[in-house]
Structure 1
Amino acid sequence: MWEVLYRANPHSHLKTRINAHKHSVKTLEKEPNSVDTTALRTHARGEGHTFKFENTKILGHEENEFKREVREMILIERNKESAVNKRSDVQSLSKVYSNAIHTIFRENPGITNSPLPSSTNQFIP
């Protein structure tokens, strides 16, 4: 089983989204030639990984769409190796910011992959 960072549109209910992903991955066994409709399914097919859906955690909450998208880009960029997302999710992130993100986390090893600060959660290094 593989633990990955996953971000989903907050407008979809978590249980519904998880069930849809479970179903999508299960159909790979029944219909191996079917079209991949999500990054998660594409990853499961390409890497042969399984997922611990029962360990899903919400990493943060942000009502403001722009702030939420920036936070998501930072989390995805920071966790490139374990993020299962279409790379289009970070295409609008400048290389300057990408380098800054990696420098900050490299120079501050005490910083974890905790949610980024917002009005509804606190950053805990």
Structure 2
Amino acid sequence: MTDNDHNTPNNVISRFKFPYIPHLSHRVSRLFKNLKSGCAYYNLSTTKRFFTQLKHKTPSTLESEVVYKIACQNCHKCYVGQTKQYLKERIRQHKRDCEDVANYNKTAVTHHQMTTGHKFDFDNVEILDREKNGYRRNISEMIQIRRNNTVNHREDVEHLSIIYSNLMDD
């Protein structure tokens, strides 16, 4: 047989991919031998199982361009916000605002805390969405405000299209 004989349509060998299983794989190979086909085996044991966490996960406080939720520790309400900066910086600003009585109406967080005496759980902030585009991040924030029982001011969602509202109400 010459090298050219391997390239003719009558001598084309199809290969099928199977996991290698000792003893069984050899039996399967024999079945395909008469069909001008072959088996290509791969190993089920790979090095991937030993190296699943090569990179450390970024702490949520060091993420930016996110929509986040801060739960009130005393009631079932929460605050939903969005930020372009690191989340830890935005949370630090919320904490600072809540410590100063002069900031009574600065944000919905300070207003809720000052009028009710409730405290927000700044240590367990939840990221609801990650979005680099500022316009889409604002839309996401509005949707999350509508979906959650929030202390946010209603003007936070006044520009949300009626289409989104109808979809969320279904």
Q: Please indicate, yes or no, whether the TM-score normalized by the shorter chain is above 0.5.
A: yes
In the alignment, structure 1 residue 45 sits paired with structure 2 residue 119: no
Structure 1 runs of 4+ aligned residues shifted over 3 Å read: none
Amino acid of the residue matched to residue 24 of structure 1? D
SS for the counterpart of 1:53 is: coil
Tell me by how many angstroms 1:34 deviates. 5.4
Q: RMSD in angstroms over aligned alpha carbons?
A: 2.1
In the alignment, structure 1 residue 84 sits paired with structure 2 residue 151: yes
Larger Rg over CA atoms: 2
Q: Which moved more, 1:88-97 or 1:42-51?
A: 88-97
In the alignment, structure 1 residue 57 sits paired with structure 2 residue 126: yes
Overall identity of the aligned pairs, in %: 36
TM-score calculated relative to the size of structure 1: 0.64
- What stretches of structure 1 of length at least 5 have no aligned partner? 104-125
The count of corresponding residues between Structure 1 and Structure 2 is: 96
Contact 1:78–1:102 (CA<8 Å) still a contact in 2? Answer: no
What does the per-residue CA deviation read over 1:3-55, in whole Å, with 9 as the maximum and x for residues that have no partner? 6242122x222112111211221223xxxx65421111011122322111000
| 2:80 corresponds to | 6
Tell me by how many angstroms 1:94 deviates. 3.3
TM-score calculated relative to the size of structure 2: 0.49
Amino acid of the residue matched to residue 161 of structure 2? S
| 2:92 corresponds to | 19
- What stretches of structure 2 of length at least 5 have no aligned partner? 1-72
Q: Which has the higher contact order (CA 8 A, sep 6+)?
A: 1
Amino acid of the residue matched to residue 112 of structure 2? H
Amino acid of the residue matched to residue 51 of structure 1? F
Higher strand share: 2
Amino acid of the residue matched to residue 156 of structure 2? D
